[in-house]
Amino acid sequence: MFDKILIANRGEIACRVIKTARRMGIKTVAVYSDADRDALHVEMADEAVHIGPAAAAESYLVIDKIVEACKQTGAQAVHPGYGFLSEREAFPKALAEAGIVFIGPNPGAIAAMGDKIESKKAAAAAKVSTVPGFLGVIEGPEQAVTIANEIGYPVMIKASAGGGGKGMRIAYSSDEVAEGFARAKSEAASSFGDDRVFIEKFITDPRHIEIQVLGDKHGNVIYLGERECSIQRRNQKVIEEAPSPLLDEATRRLMGEQAVALAKAVGYDSAGTVEFVAGQDKSFYFLEMNTRLQVEHPVTEMITGIDLVEEMIRVAAGEKLRLTQDDVKLDGWSVESRIYAEDPVRNFLPSTGRLVTYRPPEEGEENGVTVRNDTGVYEGGEISIYYDPMIAKLVTHAPTRIEAIEAQARALDSFAIEGIRHNIPFLSALMQHPRWQSGHLSTGFIAEEFPQGFKAPAPEGIVAHRMAAVGAAIDHLLNERKRQISGQMRHVSAVKFERERVVVLGREHHDALVEDIDGGIAVVIGGEAWPVVSSWRPGEAVWTGTVGGEPLAVQVKPILNGMVLSHAGASAEVRVYTRREAELAALMPEKAEADTGKQLLCPMPGLVKAISVKAGQEVKAGEPLCIVEAMKMENVLRAERDGTISKIHAKEGDSLAVDAVIMEFA
């Protein structure tokens, strides 16, 4: 076994690998760029080596710098994590030349599966179900149209070297094939330096299901069940679960055996994932193989009890697999939410800045439910513009799917983040969605269920009553504290007008009566009494307790004369008044929002890459005005309506804050 390993990555996956290595008694080396000097993975590792500037192309992606860091520290092996160099065939070759072990598959397996065209040929040869399509090199749009007509619409045009949704187009007609071919080819060239594309049948209403495989260097390969990753946005996974609500035992075995056959065919000898696109009728077709640890590996770990990072390290050290296929047993259900620094109400645009508050839910097991939080950040840390916007992966495990979802919903409600925008409100709302809870999923789920994007819903029904009860309880506690101030000429307990309250929840008014009961208070709303018990103290970001006997977590953010409460995806400003105060508050004029209709505002913190117009220029609706880059994404900002540019405030190269004025219209 190794004495010391280096993790050629950053963020949550670097921290995740360090935890397992530490448990195994292996020393760890972190690498870091200028932007990550104070990162959590640097603090957690036994040693850390600086490898260059913030840009990944000058630090985390430079093989020579990783090799040099190994030589400098005496690291015997390297775990690549995911992304960066994890699927570069040249990386394990360079390590091998330097006498360093790669904790991952052999270069031949990476090469065989890294090219989407070649991997599909290998899958077909291994008798794995493949999607009907044309795997040869396509010369031009005319040939693309001919092929698409033969396959039948709709078709998917995909970059051979692609990933992350880049170089990918769906076409429903010959015209769309011609245009999509040109766009996919262009995107593939700029993103991967390889403009080859292929065409295959697009499965309508598909699901994304993947099989986790594990192999060793002695020819043994097993599969560890499946993960359902159908909840995606722009081809990026958002929520994953294991097992899949679609599969039965027979289909699981068939998919698993095909995944193992493919892995054996390419001599696979580490942890890897064979991805399938599945129809609602349980038909399935090979998509691609990821020759690395997946982001969503924790859900498989939770239902199998197998530490995949540990197995990767043991296999890399030459050990045989400690498990046979018969040893693999699936227990319970696990759900994972990816928590991103992005603004869901602004079309999920990236958000950067300092984590003023970062309070994840408590990890551990209680009453058969486990909560796990894989993260690489800490309170006070920065979310950088240079890397992936993932903050954490929140994972829950319980005996049944609905219990795992309920646990995930509670954990999300308990997760307090301030200082940046994040997608927790969206994830919380999704957990309440009836279609998600029923398991009727597809990769089009988010586009179909949130066609206009996401807007945090106002609380309704029982959620509104619970939030109103919490608001009244918080106000009652604050008033009790005020009554304890010495020197007051008043009664020590609440008088009648202090118990008769009006809770203003958003635009809704709820008459409430606060009564003392054993162990807490009861808030009477709409004739129904809601016993409220909590040990919450002012200043805490999350209110936890029971309302009506049900456990509840509500996020609390103080505002002028009130608070913002967030729960189950819903959010509202809450103010609690006496009856007379409510009458007077209703007479107050509302402050009108500033008219920004004649301004183009920067939708997220970012760098101005290009200004496409000049002052005085007339523009048409939909015409591009400028390009702003953030977190490796270029966002084209377009004119919403016809108009004339009156003034331009920004120039190329400027770093802008969110809502900064870029230009004005006449």
Q: Is 310 a catalytic residue?
A: no
DSSP 587-608: TSPPPPPP--TTEEE-SSSEEE
CB of 470 closer than 8 Å to CB of 552: yes
Give 43's DSSP letter: H
Q: How far is CA 12 from CA 42, 354, 404, 449, in A?
A: 11, 17, 22, 30
Nearest to 132 by CA among 115, 153, 111: 153
The two tokens of residue 158 are 């995909």
Contacts 24+ apart (CB under 8 A), 639-645: 642/618, 643/618, 643/619, 644/616, 644/617, 644/618, 644/619, 645/613, 645/614, 645/615, 645/616, 645/617, 645/618, 645/619
CA–CA separation, 368 vs 431, rounded Å?
Answer: 20
DSSP per residue, 135-162: -SPP-SHHHHHHHHHHH-SSEEEEETT-
Write the DSSP assignment of 64-114 as a string of letters.
HHHHHHHHHHT--EEE--SSTTTT-THHHHHHHHTT-EESS--HHHHHHHH
Q: Residue 614: what are its φ and ψ, rounded to 5°?
A: -125, 160
* Residues 580, 571: Cα–Cα separation, whole Å: 26
Choose the catalytic residue: 87, 210, 226, 288.
Answer: 288
CA distance 513 to 534: 18
| 401-413 helix and 424-431 helix, angle to the nearest 10 degrees | 150
Tokens of 324: 């046979």
How distant is the alpha carbon of residue 313 from its chain centre? Answer: 26
If 0-12 CB within 10 Å is exposed, 13-18 middle and 19+ buried, where does residue 258 land?
buried
Helix (H) or strand (E) holding 229: strand 221-233
Q: Which of 609, 598, 601 is nearest to 660 (CA)?
A: 601
Buried b or exposed e, range 471-483, using 16+ CB within 10 angstroms = bbbbbbbeeeeee
Straight-line distance from the first to the last Cα atom of the chain, in angstroms, rounded to the nearest whole number: 70
How many CB atoms within 10 Å of residue 437? 15
Which residues participate in catalysis according to the annotation?
288
